[in-house]
Homo-oligomer: A and B are copies of this chain.
Amino acid sequence: MKKNAIVGQSGGPTAVINASLYGVVYEALNREDVFGNVYGMINGIEGFLHDQLMDMKPLDTSGELELIKTTPGSYLGSCRYKLPEDLSDTVYPKLFEKFEKYNIGYFFYIGGNDSMDTVSKLSRYAASINSDIRFMGLPKTIDNDLVLTDHTPGFGSAAKYVASTVREIAIDASVYDNKQSVTIVEIMGRHAGWLTAASALARKFKNDNPVLIYLPEVAFDQDAFIEKIKSSLETTSNLVVCISEGIHTADGTFICELGSEVGVDTFGHKMLTGSGKYLENLVKERLGVKVRSVELNVSQRCSSAMLSKTDQKEAIASGSFGVTAAIKGETGKMVAFKRQSPLTLDADYVLNYATEDVNEICNKEKTVPLEWISEDGSDVTEAFLAYARPLVRGNVLVPTDEDDLPKFAYRK
């Protein structure tokens, strides 16, 4: 009797997490020689524990699967459920009973650090009970912070959204160019500055906006920041500055925490202003120039308007590669991207796929290498640009509805 495959999504959504799902499902449905049914778990492992799963084959027949490729968010729903560290916890036999109930032989999980932790624990538990179910992780995160992979699906499209939006904000900031102004753009990334660094792609010429870029990899000095703004305004009257939400002082205090020390709202709650808002007030206070802050917010992870074709293609390929690897017998692994081309601006980008031990990936974080950040911490180097540029390339035409608005797939 053929075994069934099951696939789930976990953690925060991205623009291409469903492209990865497409890759898994498309490949699995094409391997009828191996798989019985192909199931999707609703709301990840947490939903599966409550028998929430769906048959994926009808999506292929109805054409819905094609639409999934360009739909942002997690089609199957997500969860933030962390499996217990203790493998003798009762949840494990409970889960493996469910696997048996549904005749699962292959388990695919699309997500970031925490999801890889789930894959790690399940595969280790399987080994301990001599189960032959195969567990495969598929990388996903706009934060690009997974180790042992060149980059992660989701980063390229988010980076493209950031670069194009910052380019547009710079235009918006320049319309009154007879007056000095500062625009601070706050970009997602608590510990890793990859996405903020991508704002450098917005530049069209040397010294173009964003003139200053601050990542959480380097301690943030408020006085040096103000001095840098001051000197930059001498050459760029409408200055755009990009900052990671996670920038912090040398002692580890997040900049956004500085702002909340004093404010209390009408309801007596501590007011949590973002890092951008705090720095807006700081610049206003110290320099007296016109200043505003813009938080790019959730569109960074759910906009379909700036899908990178490269990102989408690689997400799909990671899904199908994961299926093939699992068929070959691999388990406890994550699909990883291996760049074959050198990190130079003129190199032709070549990517290979491989698998890596998921235990070496989960609960670790890859940050931007310090040598890719300028000495004074206010910019990224050319090496970063060479790294990031191929990842945003290629455009995707998103299907539209009768109003010419983007048309998405929805789970019924």
Contacts and interface: CB of A to CB of B under 8 A. Distances in A.
Contacts of A309: 404
B176 A77 contact: yes
A389 interface: yes
Given A263-B263, A403-B392, A177 B43 contact: yes
Contact of A73 (B47, B174, B264): B174
Contacts of A271: 263, 265, 271, 273
Contacts of A79: 176, 178
Interface string A130-173: 00000000000000000000000000000010011101110110
A382 interface: no
A14 B259 CA distance: 32
A394 B404 contact: yes
Given A71-B171, A171-B71, A405-B160, A204 B410 contact: yes
B302 A176 contact: no
A285 interface: yes
Interface stretch (A290-298, A321-329, A333-341, A362-370): A290-298
A303 interface: yes
Number of copies: 2
Residue among A12, A73, A78, A204 with most chain B CB within 10 A = A73
A305 interface: yes
A268 to B, nearest CB: 8
Contact of A77 (B77, B175, B264): B175
User: Interface majority SS on A: helix, strand, loop or mixed?
Assistant: loop
A171 B78 CA distance: 12
Nearest to A73: B171
B404 A167 contact: no
A40 interface: no
A13 B172 contact: yes
Contacts of A265: 259, 262-263, 271, 273, 278, 281
A140 B308 CA distance: 32
Contact of A405 (B77, B163, B305): B163
Nearest to A286: B267
Contacts of A395: 400, 404
A393 interface: yes
A165 B74 contact: no
A29 interface: no
A393 B389 contact: no
Contacts of A82: none
A295 to B, nearest CB: 7
A243 interface: no
A12 B281 CA distance: 23
A258 interface: yes
A53 B393 CA distance: 37
A306 to B, nearest CB: 6
A3 to B, nearest CB: 28
Interface in A64-99: 71-74, 77-80
In the complex, the 5 A-B pairs of residues with the closest C-beta atoms, listed nearest first: A73-B171, A305-B305, A263-B263, A172-B302, A78-B175
13 contacts: A13-B172, A72-B172, A78-B175, A79-B178, A164-B305, A165-B303, A169-B302, A258-B266, A262-B266, A265-B281, A309-B404, A389-B403, A395-B404
Given A80-B176, A262-B266, 17 more contacts: A13-B171, A167-B406, A169-B302, A172-B302, A201-B405, A259-B266, A263-B263, A266-B278, A267-B285, A269-B281, A271-B273, A294-B297, A295-B297, A297-B297, A305-B305, A394-B404, A395-B400
